[in-house]
Structures are given as structure tokens and as C-alpha cells.
A and B are shown apart, each in its own frame.
Chain A
Amino acid sequence: MRARTEGQGIGISRRGVFLWMGALLLASLLLSVMVGSVPIKPQEAIQALVKGGAGSDDAVATIVRKIRLPRALLAGIVGACLSLAGLGFQAISRNPLADPSILGVSSGASFGLMVAMLLGVAGPTSNPAVTTLFAFAGALLAAALVYAIARVDGRLPMTTLLLSGVIVGLFFTSCVMLATVLLAAAELQGVIFWLMGNLGPASTGSLGVLAVVLGIGVAALFREAPRLNVLALGEEQALQLGVEAERVKRVVFVAASLITGAAISAAGSIGFVGLIVPHAARLLLGPDNRNLVPMSVLLGAAFLILADLGARTVAGATELPVGVITSFCGAPLFVYLLRRRRGTESW
């Protein structure tokens, strides 16, 4: 029986799935370093990554180490953050359609960041930890609002959750628009590009802050994973099984808002990643959160690296915002999940 409870229905063992997805992540990382306006051969890319430029010519080393690798790392960490946040929101709302962008949490984080800009504490030279903190506060505020509005008799029904997510999202988007009017014209173009989702050049500092925040998020969610599983039985059953449901939800709620805030402040608003990736991870490994937490990190990183690669290449020399790619993947999936659920559940 043990074997049957662990593997999911795709005919590969759990370890096999993790190995394959780990390989996918490495492959996408390598690919994103190789592909661009200056194509780089695989062995050159690996050499530049491993040996730090010695032996390969300097231009290649510079492109790889100074431009493409930081960008790929940023995409990877942001993808992991957004996926993990989606997984967390889904687990505590018991709803596979929850996602930072759908719940309006991303808009809240954007608003927090605009406030930081208006106060003059966000900018190219500012401390990434401070901007992250502002985005975190905005995300937390939006998430708290959504849950407060959606709550009916201590439960979070699907319809009210989605509707309040839309409302809160629209509200904070308006706040962001208001803030853009107040910003100086010089700052405006950067802001708009960032709002569309921008994985531009990343500083080592902001990568460091992101990595630390992701680490905190992974630790918090992995620790609570067994309790998140029990929470799938409903809050009342979770309490009756000895799970302090309120505490678990609070911890995951704050952690998910934190990683959303960090991702948004580093890369702007990138939608649907938190919806797509946990769904794919569930297809591969089943709904056990002890597997989904590490798998969402792996898959989320690989997905956004590849999406960014697509954004850089599909339109030739014109770079698309990566949020366009993720939305084109995510919106149809959302519709599919919504339609499928309507048949099985009254709401």
C-alpha cells in the first residue's frame, strides 16, 4: 500500500519526477544563457559559468555572467516565489483557483511599491530590502481585505473569494494608476515597464534579498505542509484532528504575502504563475503538500525562465513583457479549471 500512496498516476516514482524536473530546471537555465541576440554554444556557456571566463573570450563571459545569468536567476527565483505563494493561498483557501494575481494580492504589492516610490525610498539606488518590505505590506493588506470580504460563516466559498479578489485587485490597480499620475515623467516609463512585468537587469543585492525571502517561504510552507494536507478536509475536521487551523493559516498567509511582495518588487506584476505551476505539480505528484512545496519551487523556476526566454525571442528583436506569456498560458487554464469544477461542486 505504501507504494500506491506515494507514486501518482503517471508511472514514474516520486524520486524520478523530482530528478526529471531538476534536470528541466538546469536545462532551461542553460538554454536561457545560450539564447539571445548573440548566440552562445553550450560548451562555451558552461565554460563561462563554471570557470568564470578563463579560457573563453571575454565578451562571451561578460554576456553570460553579467547579463544573462542574473536575469535567468531573477526569473527563476521570482517564478519559484510566485508558484509557492499560489500554492500557499490555494492550500489555506482550499481552492485551486487562488493565485496572487487572481486574488488581487499582486495589485496590493504593486500599490505598496508605488507608495515607496512616491515617498522616494524606491529607486535604482535604494535598498531592495526596503522596497520588498513596502510590497510585502501592500500584499498583506490586499490579502487581508480579500479574506475579510470573502468570508461567509467562517468559510471561503469559491464565488465570494474570486469576486472579492477581483474587487480588491481593481481597487489597488486604480490606486496604482493614481500614483502613476503623481509620479514625475522621468520615472514614468520605468514604472510602466515594471508594471507590465519586467525581468530586467537584476542587482546582486535584490537577488540576495529575493533568495532569502524565498528561503523563508519554503521553510514556512514545508514545515506546515502536513497540516496543510489535513486542512484539505476542512477547518472543522482539521481542528478535530488536532491541527491549530487558525495558526497554520496565519503563518502560511503571511509567508505567501511576503514572497508575493518580494517577487513583485523585484520583477513587477507577473500573472497566473501561482495558478499554473501548482496545478502542474499536482498533476505530476498528487496533492500532498510535502511534495508540492519543493516541486512548485523547481517547476516555478523552470517555468518563468522558459517564459522569459520566450518573451525575449518570439517577437524577434522586440522584447515582450514576460507577463504576456504567463497570462496567455494561465488564462485558458483558469477557464478550464473553473468549468471543470462547476460540474462537481455547487457554488
Chain B
Amino acid sequence: MSAIVVQDLTFQYRPGLGLDGVTFAVLPGELVGVVGPNTAGKSTLLRLLSKVLVPQRGRIQIAGRDVATTGRLALARQVAVVPQEFQVAFPFRVAEVVLMGRYPHTAGAAWGSRDHQIAWAAMETMGIGGLAGRSIDELSGGERQLVSIARALTQEPSILLLDEPTAHLDLRHQRTVLTTVLARRPEGRRTTVLVSHDLNLAAEHCDRLLLLVEGRVQAFGRPEEVMTSETLERAYGCAVEVERDPASGRPHLRSPLSQPGPLESNFLTPRM
């Protein structure tokens, strides 16, 4: 049985902006990357999967249950979201913010010792145990992102939705996220949907890629099937060269600057 089934999913903010008839399915434990140009509808898809938005057409099933008829609390026990930006309005401590991930399980009752254990374990996993007593507004953007992920892990979801989780992180914090959340463990991994602008990151780590363009699925398959120069050129409207990463054997974008061309020889090489 699929972990996520999306059928004919449609939500448009205005005609032409949003999702239009998107259909795909994610297997349990699978890591699916959602890629595509700006305004392709990637974040909209996450909002629909987490019931922040209600589909105008089509349906979503999560763990065999229709999202439309699932209560918010019940859904939040299955699905956790790491948003692109994590802003906390008041200076809560890191541990308090992470503990909010237990809300779907306690529904507002006082936290028990098990809740504290789970939150603590999530902070240790993300390497922020030392920040537990710090106020959230004293942290750097990167540290805040780790708090956000720890909060999502504290929810103990079977499905994790990540929106650009490494965008604001330096190399060390990126590694933490990659090794803990996106680690390639075929068994026991929670189903993960990763929205990313970084095609190389997505190709490197994801089992399959969903390429969205203007709200429609342009391609859905293994990275080597989706990341062809032909498909990407059509999606992004610019010249793309794909090569193989020698270590992983996965597709890899070639930097446009690494190919000597008329532009480079004319403007970028100093003329003596």
C-alpha cells in the first residue's frame, strides 16, 4: 500500500497559478524529491498534503485514509512539515518549541515524561541538545532550522514533508540534516517528501523525483529518468547539461560556467 496517493489534485490561487490535475503515489519509506521552477506549485503541494489548503478538485490519501475526512489532530500525528521559514513570534526556549511537536499527541494536556524524552532525543539527533535552554530568537538562521526539524521529528510522524530544509544552512548543518533526515536507509526510514531547488541535492539523495512545471507533473521517476538535459531544458527553459557523478553514478548538473564558450572567452578571460 502506498503511503501517499494523490489523484487529480487541483488547487489554483488564480487560473494558471497553483496545481492542476496532479497525480502520483509515494511508497512507504520512500524519499521523493519535488523539483521544478519557481511557481511550479511545490510549496502548494506541501500545503495541500498537510491540509493547510483544501483541494478544489481531486483527492489525497495518506496511509490509506482520505485527508479530507481526517481530523487535523489525527493528520498531524501522521504528517509533520518543516517549513521554508521558521519564525517564532515570542522568545520561547528551544526545548519549549521542540516540545510543541507533541501537541498532536497531547492535544494541550501537560507534557509527560515520555514527551520530554522524545523531544530530547530529537534535539540530540539534530545536534542541538546544548541549545535546549536558549531563547529561540538568540539563534542563527541555521540553528533555527535545526530546531524546526527537531520539532517535526518530535511529532513522530510516519511522513515527513520538508520545504527547502538545507537552503539557509552552512556546510556542517547541511551535513547534519542530510545524514539524519535524508540518510539512505532502505528499511525503517519514514516516508519523506523533499521540496528543493537544488537539483543536485535531490538527485543525489532521493529515490524518485517529481518534476512539476506550472502546476502539472512533467516527469516522475528515478533521478536518472527525470534528470535528462532534454526534460530539464523543457522544464526550466534554459540550456542544461547533465553528467554522471563519478562517485554515486547519479545524474549531476554541469555548471554553465565550466564549458568554455563564446561568452566566457569574450568577457570572463582577462585580455592582456
Contacts and interface: CB of A to CB of B under 8 A. Distances in A.
B155 interface: yes
Contacts of A233: 86-89, 97, 100, 151
Nearest to B113: A2
B52 A287 contact: no
Interface in B63-80: 71-77, 79-80
A232 B76 contact: no
Interface string A1-18: 110110000000000000
A230 interface: yes
A229 B52 contact: no
B108 A4 contact: no
B44 to A, nearest CB: 12
Nearest to A223: B108
A344 B120 CA distance: 28
B100 A5 contact: no
Nearest to A236: B52
B91 A242 contact: no
Contacts of A239: 50-52, 72
A94 B137 contact: no
A242 B103 contact: yes
B133 interface: yes
Contacts of A1: 95, 116, 119-120, 132
B72 A226 contact: no
A287 B90 contact: yes
A44 interface: no
Interface in B21-55: 47, 50-52
Contacts of A240: 50-52, 76, 79-81
Given A5-B95, A5-B99, A282 B90 contact: yes
Contacts of A236: 47, 52, 83
Contact of A242 (B76, B83, B95, B99): B76
Interface residues of A, number: 28
Contacts of A94: 89-90
Contacts of B99: 5
Contacts of B77: 242
Contacts of A241: 76, 100-101, 103-104, 155
A314 B108 CA distance: 46
B92 interface: yes
A287 B92 contact: yes
Nearest to B100: A230
A322 to B, nearest CB: 28
A242 B75 contact: yes
Contacts of A286: 91-93, 96
Contacts of A232: 88-90, 92
Contacts of A227: 108
A200 interface: no
B131 to A, nearest CB: 11
B247 interface: no
Of A1, A233, A236, A288, which is in contact with the most chain B CB atoms at under 10 Å from its CB?
A: A233
A237 B83 contact: yes
B238 interface: no
Interface string A225-262: 01101111110110111111000000000000000000
Nearest to B107: A242
Nearest to B106: A226
A226 B104 CA distance: 11
A177 B103 CA distance: 48
B174 to A, nearest CB: 22
A206 interface: no
A236 B72 CA distance: 12
A42 to B, nearest CB: 39
Contact of B72 (A95, A242, A287, A344): A242
A2 B120 CA distance: 10
Contacts of A242: 71-77, 103-104, 107
Nearest to A2: B116
Nearest to B91: A287
A96 interface: yes
Nearest to B115: A2
Contacts of B101: 241
A227 B104 CA distance: 11
Interface of A: 1-2, 4-5, 94-96, 226-227, 229-234, 236-237, 239-244, 282, 286-288, 344
Given A1-B132, A4-B132, A287-B92, 16 more contacts: A1-B95, A1-B116, A2-B113, A4-B95, A226-B109, A231-B89, A232-B89, A233-B151, A236-B52, A237-B86, A240-B50, A240-B52, A240-B81, A242-B76, A242-B77, A286-B91
9 contacts: A4-B93, A5-B95, A96-B89, A229-B96, A230-B103, A239-B51, A239-B52, A241-B103, A244-B72
